Amino acid sequence: MEPIRVAITGSSGRMGRALLEALAEAPDLRLHAALDRPGSPVLGRDAGELIGAPNGVSVTDDLAAALDGAQVLIDFTRPEGTLEHLRAATLRGVNLVIGTTGFTDAQRREIADAARTIAIVQAPNFSVGVNLALKLLDLAARVLSQGYDVEIVEAHHRHKVDAPSGTALRMGEVVAQALGRDLRECAVYGREGITGARPDKTIGFATVRGGDIVGEHTVIFAGIGERLEISHKASSRATFAQGALRAARFVAGRPAGLFDMQDVLGLR
């Protein structure tokens, strides 16, 4: 079988390089084009050079040319960039894997609209472990629905620009849904000063930023006399890149629709 032709955006980024490394090791996928934002210092360079293994594909900012002939576009950039890539991919019928986080509700709606034309896998976290954790959280929340306070703590590297992480918010949504609550109404983002006692039925978020932490999430169910913690720690971006490649295989040639990693992993 012919390898699936994959284009990537954000080639110079942390996830872009992890994707280049993962693609170089995947015989069933081929790097069709490597994009980066206009003005990026890596434009015109061999994409493989960025990971020390030249591959003859030059990094470009020409979105139309890069998508021509591509089957799947994998995008880990910034919300405004992703929306631009989404519009171009929709016009050309190229399916999409979206790893970017930090979207507004309006941007999410635009992604959902595009998924009526192309197939899209969108997930705030592409690791298998985190997606299994989401299933475990649903179960834990149902069993611990009375008398347990839920708090979510996440930690990431010093360069991360959005908070709480998309993964922490997704974890909050899963727990809130299992408890019959609306996260928009029950979330508490950080605390300071004389806060008073913890209101019942809230879900608290705390954020740590520092150094090179790849991504850590802990959901605490704190009751009287016991505490359950469900934790995930990513030690390398390779786990997200491998998950994104699984999503690319899943979405290639698929008819329009909006999917997430639960669909890709068969966890639904």
5: exposed, middle or buried (Cβ count in 10 Å: 0-12, 13-18, 19+): middle
CA quadruple 262, 265, 267, 268: dihedral sign: positive
Single-letter code of the amino acid located at 74: I
What count of Cα atoms within 13 Å lies in the side-chain half-sphere of residue 148?
A: 21
Among 3, 5, 14, 58, binds ligand NAD (CB under 6 A): 14
Site string for ligand NAD, 211-250 (x = CB under 6 A): -----------------------------x----------
Q: What is the dihedral of CA 34, 69, 98, 161, to 10 degrees?
A: 30
User: How many amino acids of this chain bind ligand NAD (CB under 6 A)?
Assistant: 25
Among 4, 26, 32, 37, binds ligand NAD (CB under 6 A): 37
Which of 86, 179 has the CB closer to ligand NAD? 86
- Give catalytic residues, as residue numbers: 156, 160
259 is a site residue for ligand NAD (CB under 6 A): no
Bridge partner residues of 31 (DSSP) = 6
- 174 CB-near residues (< 8 Å, 6+ apart): 134, 137, 138, 141
Among 4, 7, 15, 73, binds ligand NAD (CB under 6 A): 15
Least distance from ligand NAD to the Cβ atom of residue 210, Å: 15
Distance (Å, rounded) from C-alpha 20 to C-alpha 30?
10
80 is a site residue for ligand NAD (CB under 6 A): yes
Least distance from ligand NAD to the Cβ atom of residue 81, Å: 2
Binding site for ligand NAD (CB under 6 A): 9-16, 36-37, 40, 76-78, 80-81, 99-102, 123-126, 240
